[in-house]
Structure 1
């Protein structure tokens, strides 16, 4: 893929955005805008795949824009090509879905101009090859996505979600601005090629690493910088939520990889320690937060935090291995992280599409008002089930393949010479295993409450299947989840150029192995065959169905579910989302959420209903952000007095400030 093709796609997206503004009230503008976005995304996707799989050399373009002494540099290498493929694959799927879903948008003119602008911003971030262009594209991506979050600003909570998001986005941009300032140095070499040319001192490298973690981590959703994500993602329209969760967070991962693996120079072993620690904690806390939610889209948003934590664990392992010279192990860890980047873009987009379909069919996002949709929305139920199984890392789907690779990389950690890493990596591996188990419980809960059982509301009883465009997008992503899980070797080989460019090594070629197995390091150590697992599961299930129907009954009978001898047809007697999560809340809630329960149990003969009130606390918000809010409010109230000073005092302050600056210049060495 040439950089010129990528820039042409960006220009086309911006043209579509302008067109949406000019004809925003036309009758068929929704179909036209999303069809154009689909076409442009497919062009970008095909070009990126051709560049990545064809082994093309890096392509550069310099435009006479940006900083006068730098210009605007754009470049496509293997790393950029992979992330451009992820961005445009997610954009194409969202565009297909939105052709049908967008017809239900009450005010399309609030959404249509910003969708192509958002896609242009994400592509431009990946294409940028200098600090100024990168930051400009990053801020453009943030502002356009903020406008999409605010599209339904009249709904309760959405305005606050937009405010928190823009504040955190501004913080992230400031952190990246400082990081690039340190990387550029006093000479102001803001082009990435100039940054690569000079090394960094250990102190400066540590500062850049911390700033990159803060800047990219705030956009990706690392704990405790995650507070905007569960607010903003549910507030946006569902196809926008899919783009933000499945794609935009991966652009943040790209920014981190570009800075830390590429621009910062040779890695030190200790760089992996904070990344591994934050990644492991993020994975567990994200899924625990998800288990406590009853809003379907908030569950999916918190689940994104868990998956981002898993990706950063892989990146931290890759840094640790690379710094110690174990490049093959580093390639395995990096491939696991990049594979999960691709996988998460697939199944998280699929799940948000499914949540949007449920919202269109029922008007409900609260899981406790849903239920029984498997009979009314069979295609959505099947595709959503595949997404749930994939995100739960169940074989033979794609989520299992990437998490299995990550665990294989963790098993290589005894090779590391530093005792800090020897102790930390197995602990992080235990956190990943715990998060995988909790993720399975989380999505058993989601699918069971939303699609199984009996309808809990009138709207759910009358629900029907959604439009064919939405179903087609969900079916395509579900098929990709199955294919990437059954044939993971094809994806691993596709990622080999990226690993070779970033860490200087790659995993063994997988396509030449017998029976399409995948082997992380050597066949004698471990291997996995998704095709055989898929064949075994399909054969076992088919045999079980045949035996049941052959020897038990030839007919399908439908009868009420066993109700413990209490024949009450009221759907309120079913398990709720909160009751499903109660055992896990009682195990982890006291420590993680400071959870408290207050039970009101009437005495015998008292006909009042029993009540249980559960209070959960977001410790990240209460311990980190609320003190900052109080400090800012306190300082603002004190500084507000400056508005009421006399002109004499103002002139005196200016005089003393000038004297102070002159003294600083006089004593400056």
Structure 2
């Protein structure tokens, strides 16, 4: 109860900080005061949440609180259990480090009064979503979170692209909230029991459960970035300031994951076996399409946003496996898959925040986020380069960093699929495992491209040549995240055991205790099947790299030899002769481009003796945007034009329309009951 009250008080204090920021937004101390208070309040909420998570060894260890606000007959219900404590840890840790980063980054914001009031409100809204224990409080907090983040996306509203991104975001957010409203209406039933406690105890019909699952996938999937509901994400996340982008991509998408887990694993009851099939298929497609789009991008923040879509796909693949195993009574395998999903939630919040912080640092130092115009930053921003490299290794799922462990656990869960009794599951799970392997390989290629083109080579512009290292607040935030990416990969057993109360409460089973295994190894199922030791892998890499460096320096030539880099026999000084992001992605584009992007290259090569320059043009299409959303936009415009005459009806016709609508609604209610 103490932790629950502390987090609620911190949320209220964050709202008060937002109100204070409105009053002082144009003063010189507004940035320091707003982000400083946000940092302190997020740190207190983080300490309370992680304290609750560590002490909740029993799944029955929950705290509840009812406040006399909200609907008169319902009030506002709040609940802190193992699941909410974990996600509150993710949210408040992300809010804390984003606030720390913004203490330095925010000084470069040219319109801070458009950002400061909404940042603490955004963090508070995410906290309230996770604490909510009734449908009304959940949806109100969800909408507040969406509106606050929309205002942050629109901070630079004079940019036409940002205005379009904000409009698309608010439309998709409203549509997602509508589907969540319908889902909670089905769970509440005709009696209107909107408390989660009542929904949890109710017996839901199979048809109702299936409809709720579909509505949840649309409602939470539109916020998380599931394909085909992802179209707003690569437009809105880059439009926001970088510390807000880190919160939206690294944290807000996890609030959507929380909403899905809370309803499907907690409120909905026992799942049907085909629940896992749907979630698995959507997750696998999302992972591959997300990383393919990221590979084709040269805008750094858009690339990172597309990469978020890929990681959300990985998380939902694990959740689909957990549903399939749970439906078939395979408790240990379900616990393994759910642990992998939750572990990846934590990992993604670490490395994606780190990468967006790094992108913000580069944007501050150079004014560019197009990686085709960067290069050579490792010499001008060496500390940022090290931290960004750590994030690139982590997101590429390479050992000994954290993402390798969570994706390895996912593959271990995939290997349990032959025990599933349904042939559909037996065939689909290995296929999705292949998609995950493809996404992992493409992800590594993507971030080799990002780091190589951005930090290596020669500067491609004058601004990049003049770049300098960023402030100490930004570097401190990045250093903490880089360290945690490595620590979670070296000591994964600690994280797995900390997640055990969550799987116990949702699955009724947990993975074996990992911290008791010698040498800090982890054994998901049994030693005879597989095991992994992040510490030994780290020590081996450290020793082999150090020993190789020693041998080179000890026995190699001591002479320093410098010569122009080989450039096909023409060592030109122009940076344009370097490898570019587009050229790096070209082989992959030619493999997948025709099917996924309908890509077409147009090359105009003048004949010998013609002095005209050669021309290259690339045409790519987004099938989902052009095939799904543009027709919807056209249909809505057509319908709005045809219904425009309703504005000019007479009083008599208006009353008739209202009467007919009332009769129709009463008929629907009568049929429902």
Q: TM-score w.r.t. structure 1 length? A: 0.98
2:3 aligns to what? 2
2: CA distance, partners of 1:332 / 1:49: 22
**What displacement does 1:659 show?**
7.8
**What displacement does 1:660 show?**
7.2
Contact conserved, 1:246 with 1:344, CA < 8 A, in 2? Answer: yes
1:605 and 2:609 matched: yes
1:246 and 2:250 matched: yes
2:349 aligns to what? 345
Structure 1 residues 601 and 25: alpha-carbon distance in aligned structure 2, compared to 1, 3 A threshold: same
Structure 1 residues 602 and 328: alpha-carbon distance in aligned structure 2, compared to 1, 3 A threshold: same
Question: Which of residues 75, 81, 90 in structure 2 aligns to 1:77?
Answer: 81
1:202 aligns to what? 206
2:161 aligns to what? 157
1: CA distance, partners of 2:474 / 2:496: 29
**What displacement does 1:176 show?**
0.4
1: CA distance, partners of 2:115 / 2:194: 34
Question: Which of residues 309, 332, 335 in structure 2 aligns to 1:331?
Answer: 335
2: CA distance, partners of 1:48 / 1:268: 32
Question: Which of residues 632, 643, 647 in structure 1 aligns to 2:647?
Answer: 643
Q: Tell me, what secondary structure is at the counterpart of 2:499?
A: helix
The alignment covers a number of residue pairs equal to: 669
1:32 aligns to what? 33
1:41 aligns to what? 42
Name stretches of at least 5 consecutive residues in structure 2 with no aligned partner. none
1:298 aligns to what? 302
Query: What aligned pairs does 1:77-226 form with structure 2 within 5 A after superposition?
Result: 77-226=81-230
Q: Tell me, what secondary structure is at the counterpart of 2:602?
A: strand
CA displacement, residues 387-413 of structure 1 (integer Å, 9 cap, x when unaligned): 000000001100101000000000010
**What displacement does 1:333 show?**
0.2
Contact conserved, 1:549 with 1:555, CA < 8 A, in 2? Answer: no
1:551 aligns to what? 555
More moved, 38-47 vs 162-171: 38-47
1: CA distance, partners of 2:345 / 2:464: 34
Q: Tell me, what secondary structure is at the counterpart of 1:319?
A: helix
Question: Which of residues 567, 570, 573 in structure 2 aligns to 1:566?
Answer: 570
CA displacement, residues 202-240 of structure 1 (integer Å, 9 cap, x when unaligned): 000000000000000000000000000000000000000
Structure 1 residues 555 and 150: alpha-carbon distance in aligned structure 2, compared to 1, 3 A threshold: farther
1:414 aligns to what? 418
More moved, 546-555 vs 534-543: 546-555
Q: Tell me, what secondary structure is at the counterpart of 1:157?
A: helix
CA displacement, residues 553-587 of structure 1 (integer Å, 9 cap, x when unaligned): 33655543321211111111111111111110110
Q: Tell me, what secondary structure is at the counterpart of 1:2?
A: helix
1:463 aligns to what? 467
Structure 1 residues 496 and 647: alpha-carbon distance in aligned structure 2, compared to 1, 3 A threshold: closer
2:263 aligns to what? 259
2:51 aligns to what? 50
Q: Tell me, what secondary structure is at the counterpart of 1:520?
A: coil
- The runs of 4+ residues in structure 1 deviating greater than 2 Å are 553-562, 641-669
More moved, 75-84 vs 588-597: 588-597
Structure 1 residues 652 and 582: alpha-carbon distance in aligned structure 2, compared to 1, 3 A threshold: same
2:581 aligns to what? 577
Question: Which of residues 513, 528, 534 in structure 2 aligns to 1:530?
Answer: 534
Contact conserved, 2:564 with 2:571, CA < 8 A, in 1? Answer: no
1:623 aligns to what? 627
Structure 1 residues 147 and 653: alpha-carbon distance in aligned structure 2, compared to 1, 3 A threshold: closer
Q: TM-score w.r.t. structure 2 length? A: 0.97
Structure 1 residues 666 and 201: alpha-carbon distance in aligned structure 2, compared to 1, 3 A threshold: closer
Contact conserved, 2:347 with 2:485, CA < 8 A, in 1? Answer: yes
**What displacement does 1:547 show?**
1.1
**What displacement does 1:2 show?**
2.7
1:19 aligns to what? 20
1:472 aligns to what? 476
Query: What aligned pairs does 1:466-505 form with structure 2 within 5 A after superposition?
Result: 466-505=470-509
More moved, 389-398 vs 49-58: 49-58
1: CA distance, partners of 2:601 / 2:317: 34
**What displacement does 1:170 show?**
0.2
More moved, 492-501 vs 47-56: 47-56
1:426 aligns to what? 430
1:268 aligns to what? 272
2: CA distance, partners of 1:653 / 1:362: 59
2: CA distance, partners of 1:214 / 1:10: 28
Structure 1 residues 240 and 415: alpha-carbon distance in aligned structure 2, compared to 1, 3 A threshold: same
1: CA distance, partners of 2:548 / 2:579: 29
Structure 1 residues 476 and 608: alpha-carbon distance in aligned structure 2, compared to 1, 3 A threshold: same
**What displacement does 1:622 show?**
1.1
More moved, 6-15 vs 559-568: 559-568
CA displacement, residues 578-599 of structure 1 (integer Å, 9 cap, x when unaligned): 1111110110010011111111
Q: Tell me, what secondary structure is at the counterpart of 1:47?
A: helix
2: CA distance, partners of 1:408 / 1:662: 52
2: CA distance, partners of 1:653 / 1:481: 60
Question: Which of residues 387, 393, 400 in structure 2 aligns to 1:396?
Answer: 400
**What displacement does 1:666 show?**
10
Structure 1 residues 517 and 556: alpha-carbon distance in aligned structure 2, compared to 1, 3 A threshold: farther
**What displacement does 1:663 show?**
8.7
2: CA distance, partners of 1:354 / 1:168: 28
Q: What is the RMSD of the two structures over their aligned residues, measured on CA atoms?
A: 1.7
2: CA distance, partners of 1:620 / 1:264: 31
2: CA distance, partners of 1:442 / 1:4: 44
Contact conserved, 1:2 with 1:60, CA < 8 A, in 2? Answer: no
